[in-house]
Amino acid sequence: MSYVFQFGDVWRNFDELLWGALLTVELSIGALLFGLALSVFCVYGRISWPRIAGPVVGAYVEAIRNTPLLVQVFLIFFGLPAAGVRLSADQAALFALTVNFGAYATEILRSGIESVPPGQIEAGLAIGLKRWQVFVKIELFQAMRVVFPALCSQFILLLLGSSIVSAIAAREMTAAANDIQSRTFRSFEVYLVVTALYFVIASLFSLVLETIDRLVFRRQDRPRALT
C-alpha cells in the first residue's frame, strides 16, 4: 500500500469541522425537543379524538416512515417555496429532522402508552381528573419510562442521519467536510476524521442519555437496603 496519510490540511481546517459539529449538535437537539413535543401532541390527539386525529396522525406517521429522509428534506427545502414559504437551509434542515423524528417518536410513545394498565386510567377519571390530566400525570411518565431507551436509539439514528441535510448546503459537519475535501483532495483523511467526530458525539450523547435514564426512570428499580 503506497498511500501516504497527510492530515495537515485537515488540521488546518479543523475549526470548520468543529463549527459544523456544533451545528450538527444544535440541529439534533432541536429536532429532539420539537419532535418529542410533536409526538406527545400526536399521541394525545389519537387518544382524545380518535375519529378525527387518529386517521390524520396515522397518515402522517406512515408517510414519514415509508419515504426517505432525503426526499423529505428536498420536499421541504425546494417544495415549500412553491407554496410561498421560504426557509433557509438550516431552518429547512431543522424542520425536516423534527418532522421525521416526530413520526417515529409518535409510534414509540404510543406503544408505551398502550403498556399503561387501563385500571389506572379509569381510576384517574373516577377521582375527577380530566382526560388531559390523566394523560400527563398518569400515562406519560410511565410510557416514557418504558420507551426511553427506544427513543434514545432513535435520537442517535437522527443524529447520524442529520448528515443528509448537507445535500441542501446546511452547514453541518458533513457539509464542512465536503468543502474541505473539495479544496484539499484529501478525501480519506477528511472523512476519517469526520467519522471519528461522529463516533465521539454519538458516544457522548449515548452516555448522557443512559445517565438520564438511570437517574430519572430507573431509580425505583434499585433494591432498597433492609432496615
DSSP assignment of 91-110: HHHHHHHHHHHHHHHHHHHH
> What is the C-alpha separation between 97 and 83, in angstroms, rounded?
20
- The 10 Å Cβ neighbour count of residue 95 is 20
Is 42 exposed, middle or buried (CB count within 10 Å of its CB: 0-12, 13-18, 19+)?
Answer: buried
Dihedrals φ, ψ of 203, to 5°? -65, -40
76, amino acid identity:
I
- Domains (ranges, CATH) in the chain? 8-221 (1.10.3720.10)
pLDDT of residue 220: 60
pLDDT means over runs of 10, the chain (227 residues): 82 93 96 96 88 90 95 94 91 96 95 87 85 86 90 95 91 92 90 96 95 82 50
